[in-house]
Amino acid sequence: MREKRIRSALISVYHKEGLDRITGKLDRLGVKIISTGGTQKFISGMGVDVESVEDLTTYPSILGGRVKTLHPKVFGGILARRDNKEDIDQLKQFGIPAIDLIIVDLYPFEETVASGAGEQDVIEKIDIGGISLIRAAAKNYRDTLIVSERGQYDHLYELLESGEGVTTLTERRRFAAEAFDVSSDYDSAIFNYFNMEEGIASFKESRRQVKKLRYGENPHQEGAFYGRLNDLFEQVHGREISYNNLLDIDAAVNLISEFDETTFAILKHNNACGIATRNKLSDAWKDALAGDPVSAFGGVLITNRVVDDVTAAEIDNLFFEVIIAPEYDDKALEILKKKKNRIILKLQGQPTGKGSFRTVLNGVLWQEKDTRTEGVSDMNPATKTVPSASQMEDLVFANKIVKHSKSNTIVLAGNRQLFGSGVGMTSRIDALKHAVEKSKGFGFDLTKAVMASDAFFPFRDSVEIAGKEGITAVIQPGGSVRDNESIDYCDANGMSMVFTGIRHFRH
């Protein structure tokens, strides 16, 4: 067990919230308290005896507060091994008191960066003394207890209450592990700030906030989400969000971000099975659902407008897992909350970060996010016939959906509505055939459709099938050595085709 009684504590924190409860308990236990600057004033203001670090070291805080605790009389007292005779003899020789408890709260570096502060302000929020205290105390966990953030105050108070100031080796080791979690996360944030400009070939990502999930992709797999989900969403109703819900929610948020007009989308397994843009939200919902009312069952819904009661009443007729919107009318919420498990989310922000990554084999793949979205000005006509203004509008619409669909993918759309898509296919022809089959199966007239492809057509067969189905406008990246074959077929059959020069693979 190796129990240790806390007889002395060094406290140096940035945030003071919750500290009074801890300090009061330490005082009642007869623990000698040493502190610095503002923390010392806070503790003194409570009427608790506290010794200043300056009195201990006989050195003042210098360099504008950059150097306060960096002194052998501080770190010697933390790092001394209590079962090592030479260490104890040196403490006596140099008049260094042993320190049993360290409570530290680091400068808010990430918050300062997020605030948009200038570099000098950011640099001053790189904690030196605090991070050093954390590492020293964690290293010597056999003798020293380290509390490295205010989120641990409740746990510390419980230990002080239950053990009357006595801690076990197991408890100290746990706090040490958490301390290294704090310090490594802090250092990663600092490195990534500098590396935004330096471009050093090193991958460092740290996410400490964890949300335990019911399970992973399947019930036999464990799952968790690491990150600040509450920064993006407010969950106003429903059961706990699942692993698969989060995958669909991510896909939905990324897709809807492409649209400024009133748009409703339905997603299933990370792909849109229905999406429409209309002047009225209820019309957008009805036409999105018409795209594939079968696949919509159990899907994830998202819109970029406030959900009203009329639209909510229509939506309520469908079984779905999640709905996401920026806001809901009171009556709409009343309707949607009828199903107790239905997850209702308010979207409060957009995902940040310029890159995306995933584990592969024994490493990590990283890439820049695909932030390219082609508009009319990016479309280069490749055929004699040029798309009409309404066709151009639909080509832009279809190309946005293609960008957010699993490859290989073909999207057929018209009048800013998804008619049908083939996604995740091993051949582009199969993707097209599936899109045609779904479109016709749900009663869409393909003579009013345009076709979008995430990558170039290696042969003319895709445009030939599209042409025979009555499709008259096509958008694709271009770049095949056989582009001329597709162009010639389009020219011979009165079809228009534009090249964007941008591929949108998504795997």
Which positions are catalytic? 139, 269
Helix (H), strand (E) at residue 44: helix 37-45
* Euclidean distance between CA atoms 277 and 260, whole angstroms: 9
Tokens representing 165? 């100031």
Residue 167: helix, strand or coil by DSSP? strand
C-beta neighbour count of 437 within 10 angstroms: 12
Residue found by looking up tokens 């006596």 in the block: 92
Residue found by looking up tokens 């051949």 in the block: 427
* Euclidean distance between CA atoms 110 and 14, whole angstroms: 14
Paired residues of 167 in beta bridges? 4
DSSP notation for 306-360: PBPHHHHHHHTTS-EEEEEES-B-HHHHHHHTTSTT-EEEEE------SEEEEEE
Helix (H), strand (E) at residue 144: none
Q: Tell me phi and psi for residue 474, to 5 degrees.
A: -135, 140
Q: Are strands 101-105 and 8-13 parallel, antiparallel or unpaired?
A: parallel
Contact 301, 284 (CB under 8 A): no
* Euclidean distance between CA atoms 26 and 374, whole angstroms: 63
Contact 251, 244 (CB under 8 A): no
204-212: long-range contacts at Cβ-Cβ below 8 A with a sequence spacing of 24 or more? 205/357, 208/181, 208/182, 211/241
**Over 189-230, what HEC string results?**
HHHHHHHHHHCCCCCCCCCCCEEECCCCCCCCCCCEEECCHH
* Euclidean distance between CA atoms 49 and 60, whole angstroms: 19
279-312 in b/e form (b: 16+ CB < 10 A) is eebbbbbbbbbbbbeebbeebbbbbbbebebbbb
* Euclidean distance between CA atoms 202 and 301, whole angstroms: 38
Q: In 3D, which of 267, 279, 254, 258 has the Cα closest to residue 415? A: 279
Contact 435, 460 (CB under 8 A): no
